[in-house]
Each structure stands twice: as structure tokens, then as C-alpha cells.
Amino acid sequence: MTIDLACAECEASFELDVTELLDEPGKLTCPNCDAEAPRRRAEALASAVDELLRAISGISAKFAVNLSAETDDLPGGYEPANGRKRAAAAEEEEEEAEEDEREDDGFGGEDEDEADPLDEDSED
């Protein structure tokens, strides 16, 4: 069983095997840039995963379980610790995209129908 993660620092995606998390509960590191989750948070995640697996095991005789958890889909009251940071980054990206769009619309750009004054001077 694996957990899919995406690093907030370098945006690299990677998989974490649950057994690795349970074997080394305080270590959660991005293999791309070596960013680390705080030890207490990684331990809390490992503990929660262990508890979840025990609960699933307890009901597995009666129910099959298929679980998906997305950070962006957390219920109210469970906003990610860096949610404000992500929201600010998303807003900044949106503003940059709007600026690029305005530039592409011809603001500050050259119109193809207008002759270049330097070309006219060189023809004389």
C-alpha cells in the first residue's frame, strides 16, 4: 500500500510505501529536494495510518475498503497547515497569468500592420 505525495517545495510527486512510514515514523522526506516534514507531524501521520489500518482490518470480514484522501478535499476544520501559503501562491500565479494575457492582447506589443520606422530610414 502506498501514499502518493507531492512536495510543496519542488512540486515533485513521489510514492511513500506505508510500511516505510510505519517503520520510520518520524522521517518523511522528499526524495527530489530532501524537504522534510516536521518530525512530530510525520509521527502523527504514521500513528494515524497505523490506527486506520487497524480499523480497516477490524471491519474487513464484513466490508471491502477503498480509500482516497485528497488534501484539497479535506472536510471543513481540516485546512492544511500551509493552506494560506498555497492560496497566496495560487492567487499570485493567477495574477501573473492575467498579466501575460494582457501582454499577449497587444498591450505593449507591436502591430504587424504598422511599418517599422527604422526600416523606412534604411530604404532611403
pLDDT digits (tens, 9 = 90+) for 46-79: 999 999 999 999 999 999 999 888 888 878 887 7
User: Is residue 88 situated within a structural domain?
Assistant: yes
- Asked if pLDDT for residue 118 goes beyond 70, the answer is no
Q: Of 72, 14, 17, 77, which is closest to residue 46 (Cα–Cα)? A: 17
Q: Tell me: do 92 and 57 sit in the same domain.
A: no
Q: Tell me: do 40 and 64 sit in the same domain.
A: yes
Q: Tell me: do 52 and 1 sit in the same domain.
A: yes
Percent of the chain with pLDDT strictly greater than 70: 65
User: Is residue 121 situated within a structural domain?
Assistant: no
Q: Exposed, middle or buried by CB within 10 Å (0-12, 13-18, 19+), for 18?
A: middle
Total residues found in the chain within this entry: 124
Q: Tell me: do 49 and 86 sit in the same domain.
A: no
Q: Tell me: do 38 and 92 sit in the same domain.
A: no
Domain extent, residue 38, equals 1-69
Q: What is the distance between the alpha carbons of residues 30 and 10, in angstroms, rounded to a whole number?
A: 9
Number of domains the chain is built from: 2
Average the pLDDT over 18-35 and give the result: 92
Q: Tell me: do 43 and 65 sit in the same domain.
A: yes
Q: Tell me: do 22 and 49 sit in the same domain.
A: yes
Contacts of 76 (CB under 8 A, 6+ apart): none
Q: What is the pLDDT of residue 7?
A: 94
Q: What is the pLDDT of residue 77?
A: 83
